[in-house]
Amino acid sequence: MKEFAFKLNGADYKCAVEQLEAGKAKVTVNGKVYEVETEAAAPAKPVAKPAPVAPKAAPAPAAAPKAEAKANSQEPTAKGQQVKSPLPGSVIKVLVSEGQAVKKGDTLLTLESMKMENAIMAEADGTVKQIAVTPGQNVMQDDLLIVLG
């Protein structure tokens, strides 16, 4: 039995394909059983595997500044209020620096999402304890951006 969960027009569905024989299947959708006919699937074509390529020597990593290594960390190094990304996007510019005092409503950084720039603002007064992102970095929703103390 193969189970699936999907969303269609905002509604959640749970589906289980219980039996598949001779072009017919027994399918349960949200507890209701249906018998459906299926089309014959085309046989899968074998995929030729490319010849192995000898790996190239990786260039020696440049010594990264300590601050940048700290900035790329997703784990907060200081306790405080975490400013997280409200949506997925790309960091355009970071407008604050560690140790800087900020007031509620100050813009901390600019995040581009779906070709729109979004100002990420401080939700409270505080001091920037950690910057967890760098310009050009892609972030997902709820990724840590900045820690305020």
| Residue 83, pLDDT score | 92
- pTM check: above 0.85: no
Residue matched to tokens 């700290």: 70
| Residue 148, pLDDT score | 93
- 26: DSSP letter: E
* Spatial CA neighbour of 71 closest among 143, 148, 140, 134: 134
Characterise 71 by phi-psi region: left (phi > 0), alpha (psi -120 to 50), beta (else). alpha
| Residue 30, pLDDT score | 78
Given a cut of 70, the residues of the chain with pLDDT beneath it are 1, 19-20, 39-78
| Residue 47, pLDDT score | 63
* Distance between CA atoms of residues 102 and 95, nearest Å: 11
| Residue 74, pLDDT score | 42
| Residue 23, pLDDT score | 73
* Distance between CA atoms of residues 22 and 93, nearest Å: 59
Phi and psi at residue 68, to the nearest 5°: -70, -40
**Domains of the chain, each with CATH number or no CATH:** 2-37 (no CATH), 71-148 (2.40.50.100)
